[in-house]
Amino acid sequence: MRIIPAIDIIDGKCVRLTKGDYNTKKIYNESPIEVAKEFEAAGIEFLHVVDLDGAKASQIINHKVLEQIASNTNLKIDFGGGLKSDKDIEIAFNSGANQITGGSIAVKNTEIFEGWIQKYGSEKIILGADFYPDNVGGKIATNGWQEESSLELIPFIDSYQQKGIQYIICTDISKDGMLQGPSFDIYQQILSEVNNLKLIASGGISTFDELPKLVEIGCEGVIIGKAIYENKISLKQLEKFILNQ
């Protein structure tokens, strides 16, 4: 299972939110590059970068930060937040992203998103399936989690897998930034109902002990944010985990 730390960016700074609420913003470092270099020094190869300004503005904003991280590290970066047009995705790839994540666009403009899958291929395009849980799984949320759609989580994932998507970042918004553990049951349900999926767990990771459980379920990767920044999981633990896999 790939370990993928998260860097969320507002005003060029490394921040975290709780449940996607911009009013809960906490700045952890003025320099995302410094943070990225620390991750790389711990043997981490992958990075999840979210342009929170972009998510709000519905267009890419912090591409210069992406460019700086990409040119100063060897991390393989997946980038998301506000990618809504062909121009946005070109800027992201030209700025050094290895993959991009499309969430709102996959709901609101399926034609453009499907075009990206065709043009760039399933290795480059990740489906962002951010959801609010309900009694059958969850409802997909859009626009920096500020809007809830009527789309059900598992049918949404299944429909895009049939269109060629392999990688899915699945975030339970109710758990994001809460440090109360991830949605093991929902991830298990998704993987039992949708075959051959590269599911990346996101939201709620709080302790190191949760990582082996996600491996057991069959998650291909895990995104870890606040647990690292709040020292609930150390980079030493992650380094050891990566080496022992």
What are the extents of the domains in the chain? 2-244
Residue 78 confidence (pLDDT) above 80: yes
Residue for token pair 């299972």: 1
How distant, in Å, are the alpha carbons of 23, 63, 187, 200, 238 from that of 221?
A: 29, 24, 12, 4, 13
130 is catalytic: yes
Task: Tell me the pLDDT tens digit for each residue of 218-241.
Answer: 999 999 999 999 999 999 999 999
Average pLDDT, the chain: 94
**Residue among 8, 51, 53, 88 flagged as catalytic:** 8
| DSSP assignments along 47-72, one per residue | EEEEEHHHHHHTS---HHHHHHHHHH
Q: What is the DSSP letter of 143?
A: T
Segment 98-122 shows an average pLDDT of: 96
Which pLDDT score is estimated for 142?
80
From residue 90, how far is each of 32, 81, 87, 98, 108 by CA, in Å? 22, 14, 5, 12, 19
Whether pLDDT at 145 is above 70 = no
Fold of domain 2-244: TIM Barrel (3.20.20)
**Helices and strands of the chain, counted as H and E runs:** 11, 12
Please say if the pLDDT value at position 119 is more than 70.
yes
Three-state SS for 162?
Answer: coil
What is the pTM for the complete model shown?
Answer: 0.95
Q: What is the pLDDT of residues 58-69, one digit of tens each?
A: 999 999 999 999
Strand-strand pairing, 46-51 and 2-10: parallel
Q: How confident is the model at residue 149 (pLDDT cuts 50, 70, 90)?
A: confident
pLDDT in tens, 152-187: 999 999 999 999 999 999 999 889 889 999 999 999
Residue of 51, 53, 88, 130 with catalytic role: 130
Residue 141's pLDDT band (cuts 50, 70, 90): confident
**Helix or strand run (H / E) with residue 89:** helix 86-94
Is residue 8 among the annotated active site residues? yes
Region 196-200: what's the mean pLDDT? 97
